[in-house]
Structure formats: structure tokens, C-alpha cells
Structure 1
């Protein structure tokens, strides 16, 4: 019985949210006619019956009270007045709070539901189900075709066995008979090649449709926060206190897991907006504001990034208090010149709070650090800004999609690359002397299936050759050679649209199922590398697009001279020397790691710093000379401009070239950086790794 009730609660959770969403929409439109009143009545009545079915008498009673009020309006043929609309809104808030209640005396306003987001039930539009059914039908059609093909193979085997056991009964000339069987076998082979592409496309479409089913609108996750905000406002400011909550972009859809992971951080931000942005009615009116605090929760999609922003028009952040607290905790120097952006980055530090005492709403200073940790767990970022003329905006930015994929991990010039498993046909080790040279290009022999899978007396099939190309020629150096290790070349034979190519890699590492995020990192070729995963904490895996890889291989054709490089023997004969040392300064671990791998793949030594203050300390204390500094501008504690100024003021550091790399492309920022002593200013919007490498080479 408990399992049945859990299932019913899961269904009710989706149903009540749908009813409340629809009723709120009607109320927002002012409930303009009798049909609107009847629709609200119908939904409240259905909600009451559903609450009774899952044994939630409190929700049932609240719905019943509103049902009676609406029944009176319908009987009188009246439209709801302001008091009626407020009663409807208050009832919806009460139901939301009953279904999403937070325990008192907790440091965090948590989402403790009657039914905690049972993933067994989701709402799916009929059109999406139709598309999913169509994708399954396509796959089943290919499966039927595969079955017919297998039937042809079995018929061919039967004919062959008949010939083997009674060759005297052959009606035709034996040579002609074998030629006929060979033609049939070749036809089966061609059919199989065509089917391989169809299966790949059918599976890809099915995967896309299944993924689409997992998408949920933002409203399903954040819609109930308005009621929670109004309750928090009453608890903090008394019965008369209120807050107006505005929702924007609630129709935006993304993966449920990603959206759900943002719910608790957004609750933290709403709570902080109310507690830290609170002003009395008199204070707000004096400042020319409305009587109530306004909070806006907005959700937007920017490329492959999901942004959730919580804004308020309260009193805004107290920069002096933040600066004093940061100095007291040793996060900044007391006399350090810091701008608002640098100070606001400090509020996400663990244990940071400007409040003198803790309470059940304001917490103990862990709230915003939890927000930052949640963003980092999703490989995202969080940023606080001052609103004009008053208030605060906090924006969470995370990848919109994270999916599990099976990939072959390979090593390529110090980078770990991922080749999608769905297109890999063979993994080969080809001895150097066994590589065939045709028209000046290398080819490898693809082994036939093991004995027993082909007719034993069938004529020998022609050898299947596959072109060999160094993977590094498409992910790094166009003049790369085929890497030879222990006298052999490691080759991953991939197939796209019936065409095969063998990509030679330095080393095959492992086959792993990884969580892959959409890649938008600085300097990354997003066409060739659309995804990024993390096999280890500090080592990114760049997941390649097989379609783009093959497109570039076709475009390149047979250009270039094929060379071989001995990976093992090259290392001992390289003279021991220090490569140029480049310091990368950036507060994003993703950007730091990506730039590190890019620079190391081009022969540079790299050291890392998380902000300007750490970079300055390393520069002053390091026993090894840093040749170039590549720094972001927007960083906590000390930004790129501050680091540049500090280096120019130190005679031991003033001669080190500094490259500023930032998303700030305003002319004033560029002028400020160049006048401050930077040797180059690269904007992230137009940046590619070739430009960075060329810039560093020019400075050296």
C-alpha cells in the first residue's frame, strides 16, 4: 500500500502543479469573464477530489473553501472583485506551501515536499510522444530490414551447403554457380553497409527524442517559489510585509536534472533578497519605490548555457560592510583598492556574512557559498551585480545539457580526447612494416571476421584497406606524423555514412561512460569539440564530433607528405632544457585547465593561479622566471588590471609581458589595459587557440 500511495502522490504532484499554473494564468489575466470563473472552479474541484484520493485532507479542505466561494460567484453570475482574486491567490499560495513546506529553525530554506520529486512520473506533450513513437517505428523498420537481410544470408548458406554435400546435383556450371553466389554475397554486403548508416541515424534520432522527453519547463521547478517568497517576507517583516514576485522565461525547457539542481540555490537567493534587501514601507516610498519589495526570477537560454537570475529592487549590497568583513576575514588587504565587482565576488566565499547575528532566515553565512558550490558542481558560474538605480542581481550560468556517453579515451599530444563509441568499428595495432603505401598514402588492412562466420568454401574476399591519418593533424598540428610506439601504430577505425577512416593516436587509454557537457570554453574549436567531460578532477576530456572530423578529413584529401614519428625514441634524444614558462591566471577552473592543455600541447611549461593576488605572490616567490603572463580581467580579490598595475610597480616583474584575455571588449577597457602596460589584449568572443599561440610566440 505504501508503494501505491507513493505512486499516487507522484501523480498528484504533477497534477496539482498543472492546476495551479493554469489558475495563476487566468488570475493574471484578471479573470475577464464567466468562462474564466468556471474554469477556475473546475480546476479547484478537480484538485479537491485528487487531494482526497491521495489522503491529503488539509489540501482538500483548503480547496473546498475556495470552491464554495467560487460556487457563490457562479450562482450570482458575478465576476470576482479584488478581494476574490486575492483569496484565490492566497489559496494557491497556501496549497503550494502545504506541498512544499520548509521546517522552522533551519539555516537553509529547503524544499521538503509531501512527495519529493518522484522521477517515475513526468508530464509529456502528446506531440512529443508521437515523435518518440515515430523514432521507435524507424528503428523497428531497420530491424525488420535486418531480419530480411539475415534471411538472405541463411538462404545463401543453405545453397552453399547443398553444393558442398551433393555437388553432382548442380544444374549449372560450377564456375557460374559460384559466380552467382558471389554476386548474391556482395549484394548482401552492400545492403549491410547501407543499413549501418540507417541504424546509426535511427539510434541518433531515438536518442534525441528520448532526451527531449526529459526536458521540463522552468515553471515546473520554480513556479512555487512565489508562494514561498511571500511566506518568507511575512516571517521576516511581520504580517503586513509583502513581496511581489515576477517570473520571466518560465517556458524555457532544459534537462530536469539540471533545472532541479538549481532549485535550492535559487531558494537561497530569494531568501537573501528578502532578508538583505528589506526596507520599511516609509523607506521605500521615500526612495521613490513601490510599497513592496519586487523580486524577479528570470530564466534564459544563451547558446548552450542556461542562465537563472534573481533580481530585487531592495537596498542593494552594502559595499563598505562587505569590504570590512572581507578584510576582517583576510580575504583582501585592508588598503587594497577594490572595485564593486571584486568586492561582490567575496560574498560567495565560505563563511562570509555581513550580518551581525544569525537567525532562522538569514542563516550563518553559508547560503551564498552553497550557491557557488552548486554552480561549480554543474561546471557553471555565479555572479552578483548592483542594479541601477537600486537593488541586486545574482546570475547563475550553467551548461544547458549534460549527457552520458560511451567514449574511447585516447592520448593526443598531452590531451585526452574522447572518440564516440557509436562510430568505432575496429581498434587496431598495425606494425609499421605492415602498413601499405598506395599513391603515397598509408593504408592498413582491416581483419576479416573470425573463421566460421563466413562460408568456408567461398572465394577469398578482397582485402579491406582503410586509410590511415594521424588524429593530431586535425586536433593540433596539420603537419603531424603517424605516431609509432613499440614499432606499431595504434588506430581507431571509425565509420560515418558508410565511409571508414583509421585515425592513428599516440595511445589508447580506456573505454568509459562519461557525463558530457556542451563545450563553450575559451579557445576550443566548438565545431570539432562540441562536448567536454571530466574523467578526473583536473583533466578534461575533449569529446570529438565524428561528423566534423570526417568532414575535415575529406576536405584535406591527400594533401601533405606522410611521415612517421617514433614516440618512444623521441623522448631520450631531446636535450634537457626548460621550455618557456607561461602563467595562466583565471578564476574558472575550466578555462585554466583548457588553456593549460592548449599551451602544453604547443611545448610550453605552464603554472596556474586562481586570481591576481595568488599570481602576484607566485611571481614574487617563484625560483623560476615566468616568461609570459596570460590573465583574465574579471577575478576575485585582485583582477587583471590590478595584477598588471602591481607588476608594473615592481621592477623585478615589470619586464614580464602580460596578455589580458577577457570577455570585456569595451574600448575603454582595451585602452585601460594597453595604457596600463599590457602587451596584448585578446577578447574571448573572438579568441581561438591559434591567436593565443601566435601572440605568445611574438612576445617571446
Structure 2
């Protein structure tokens, strides 16, 4: 039992020590470190190490704590030597913890304690004064001469639950199952709609039977009994429909959670695999007697583990190459206005539908003259004739190509960049070498996010089949168009419930794609046209939000190999790759980010519209003509115009000069108000603020509210609808009939 408890404590310590070390490293790279927080981190690290009985870590953490206390109190400043000693100590702690097996680890090298001890001694504190206070604890490595550098440590555990190893095949199977579940739920939508229609039909039949029974000249017991049975049937159908709706909503929510869980299992933070590279390159720099400042960015980005593993060795080669070719003597760097330490960078980022990994340095940059000379010597270029920089920078990826004068432990054999190019090709990507501004070199890997078999949702639009990455699909929908609202001329989907609900304009996928080529639908060649009364849509996570796409049909979810996009005949902004269906039928894999960007452009040019249900009859409009409308606008001209139009249509009109004035009047309950027509840009309280206040007040939560403004951007429209506006009109496209029709539909 004690062993089990210690294993749990060690698992927690793995997570905690990573957090403290990352925070300390971040502070060292900051222009204004919070030394109080740094000191607290070292103190917490020491206490955590003591709690899990790791005296070697505790000793180093204690000496770090002593150092940071002096810096925090202003007794000394942390210079370059001190920062190097701290980085060495942090690397040693990480290596030691990563090598733990069954609670025991390798010997902690003494160089970290020695380096910290020397630094403290030079700054007025004897190393002995910083020894750990617990004399009875197990002995630790003494601060003697530096021990040999440890070999590259094992990969660190991934965040707290890393004790469980899950096969990749199991993760893929779970992802496919989650998509199958989503497809099955989408197929159930017509059944739920049919059940609701059945309940309405039974209610209508019951009402008709009761009318017949009441109008019969003689007593008709059988009619009354029939009406009673229809009543029971109607109640049963209504209750069944209600339960079906509640169960479907619960299952959909569970399916979303399963999908998110499967996605998290397939992806790991880049730090998980690439984190050890930082320790390795710092160790190499120490061996070479070179000072480096290592800048790591984007390592918290979730990436598929297989991609990271394939990149690990090439990136280590690239970092070593940067350390070799980017290195300059300190006096040369000072003369160029650079810090003495070589700046190395490793950045992981997502650009559109591609993963971009960059290794950079701030050294002298590519030496095109030496590259050209080496290329001509190897016969890669003609002995004479010009060579442009782009051609020269491609040649460095040739196997065996090197500009180094001699072979050493860092470079000279000419295979580092060749390894990088091979890895990029295997991942169906590319790599390029380019100069940086104002100085330095960057090696940039550009890889498809899906360079392997991927779960793809197949959809049909415009009579052609396309694939969408399954990882971004949030919901599949089939809804009756008649019951959906409109805004800015587009159908609106509401996602979520209550205050958390958001509104998303629906964009037709065929409209975005235009003439983009794709394969005809293999399962339905020349199939029947889709039902115009039913909206079939896919809700995607894209562009930092959600995108609702209308499609003709939803097909199945398949795990397919994603290949690079065709080099011609397709829009690179919309197409992320190609997949091949059985029978050698190609389909284009669409880029969700590109679709979101194109949909935003499409929405921006759509004329202003209203949000409304099905049109109401003229009689119904007249019935509401004496309703009271509150007009809220800070422009006297606009208020007067709107008041005149509404009063001419038979409405009673009350005006207010801004949102706060309107809110005060409504709360005072001076008169009953049936609808609010408000501007957005107003002093004191704007239209968005007024709408938010109304929806938060139980008395006005359902009060119909129309926003009418000159702000017609898609973002403003979405914000207004998300806050609960019933309609959004723009003044640039003002149409008196449109305004009156919208009001008539809402009252």
C-alpha cells in the first residue's frame, strides 16, 4: 500500500516539477522577471521533492532557492553565469526525474550543485551555507568536479495521467466509433421529427372528434369514447416525443464528449516529445563551451504523437546544425550589436491546415558564396553561369552537402539537413532554408496536419463529394427550414442551450467552393435532388469559432490516407489534401480554416436581412397594429423617421435617447411595451448593453427586440444574435416594408 501511495505521489510530482521548471525558465527569459514567484517556485520544488523522498532533487532545489532569495532581496543580480548555472540545474532535475524507475533514479551529476555553489561563493555566500538542512537524509552527490553529461533522458511523462499507455490503433478505433455515433444520431433526426408530427396529428384528430361529438344531434357515445381514446393517444405521443427529444439531446452531448476525449487521446502537447531537445542542445552547447539563449514557442500545441516522433531526430540535427553554423565569436556578435549568447529558437505553430515547425538562429545567416562554391565542387551546379539564392538554398538538402571546413561533433558530414528533408517528404510535407531579418537562418518544416490515415466525413455539395476532417466536426444536423430563423439574408442555426447558446449563419458549401473540382458521388451517381424543405448541415470548429455549412447530403465517416493536394486545378486556400475512395475515386479534403475565411468574405457582401419565422398573414399584422413600440436612438433624425413610419402603420410609439434611458423607462413600467427597436452605437449604454440587460431581467427576457444600426459586419450581427436579438437590420439597406414586415412577424 505504501508503494502504491508513493507511486501516486511521484506521478503528481512529475506534473508539478514540470510546471515549476517551466515557470522558472519563462521568468529567466522575461525582461521583467517576478523574482518573488521564482523564489516561491524553487521553494515549492524543494518541498515537493522532500515529500516524495528525492533528496538529490531537493539539494539542487535548495541551492536554487538560496540563489533566488539573494536576487529577490537585491543582494545580487543574476548575470549570464548565474543564468547558465540555473539552466544546468533545471536540466539536471528534469533528466533525473525522467530517469526514475520504481521511485529510484540514476545518480545526480554533481556539476549542477558545483556550478551553483561556485556562483554563490563568488557572490558572497559560501557554498556550505546552502547545503540542505536535513542532515539525516540520504546522501547526495557532492559538489565535486563536473560529472560526465548524462545521456539523453527518456521521454517525459505527458501530464498527470501518463501512467496509462494506450495503443494508437485503439485511439483510432475510438475516433471512428465517435464519428459513427454522430452519423447515427443525425440519421435519427427524421424519426424524431416524424414522432413530433404524429403527436400534432393525434392532437388535431382528437379536437376534430370532440367537435363532431359535440355537434351531433343525438347522443353518440361511440364518438365520445373515440375522442377520449384519441386524447389518450395524443397525450402518449406528446410525452413520447418529449422523452425522445430529451434523450436525443443527452446522447448528442455525450457523443460530443466522447469525440473530444478521442481527439485528446490522439494528440499530445509538442512538449511531450520535443521537450528533451532543449536539454540536449543546452548540454551540447556546454560541451562546446558556447553560450546559447534557447527560445521555445508553441510546445503546448497538441500534435499527433506519430508526427512528433518522426520530427524528433531531424529537429535535433537542425538545432545542432544551427549551433554549428550560427555560432560567432562573442567579439563579432558584440560588433554586430547582438548579445554575446547565440539565440536559438524552436517554434511549433499551425498555419491554416498545416503544421509549421521552425528552427532558427540569429547568427550570420546562410553563406551563399560558400554554398555556391561547394555546389560547383560537387558538380551540383555547372562550373560557370549564375545561380540564384533560391536554387542555392535548395541544394543544401542534398545528401552529403556541407560547407564546414572540418568534421567535428556538431557538423561536417553533410547529412543533418538531408535527414530533415527526408523526414518532411515522409510526412508528405516540405522543408526550406531561408535567411532571417535582420540576421540569422531559419529552417522551416511545413507539414499537413493529416499526413496519415485520418477520419474523414464525406459530404455531397453541388453534386460532388468532398471530405471534411473528422476532428473539426462538432454536429451533424437535419432540420426543417420553415422553423429556422433568418438574419442578413441567411438561415441561422442556434447551438447550445440557455445563456450559452450561440448563433451561426449557415453558408452553402457549394456556394463557397464554386467551380472547385471534385469527384462525383460514387454512392449516388446522378442522385435525386435534395429535399428543399430540409436543411442538412455540418457544424465545424474553424476560424477560432464555429462554421455552419449546408450540404446536399451526408455520407459515411471513413478512415482514409490523406495525400497532398493536387498541384493544379484546385484552390489552395480551400483544399488541404486528397483522399482516395474504394474504386480509385479521388475526393478533395477541404481545409476548415480556408472555408471559414471564405465564408466570412461571402457573408460580408450579403445584403441586410431580418431574423424571422415563417411569414404572417396580413390579418395577423393588422391585429398587432396597436401594439406599443419603444424606439431607442441617439439621433433625433432617425428617431423622428422611425416614429413616423411606425405611427403611420398604426403602432403606438415611445422614444428614448439612449440605452440607459430606455432601460430606466422599462424598469419604471410607465407603459406596457410590446417591442423594442434600438440603435447599437449610443452614449451611456449602447444597443448591445441594453439587449444584455433586458435578457438578464426576467420581466424583459422575452421582450421582442430588433437592433437597427449602420454596423453590418458579420461579427456585429453574430454578437447581436448571440446576446438574444430577435432581428438585426442595417441602415445602409433600410427598407420601410422590410422593417414593418419584421415587426409584424415578431408581434
Q: TM-score, normalised by structure 2?
A: 0.46
Larger radius of gyration: 2
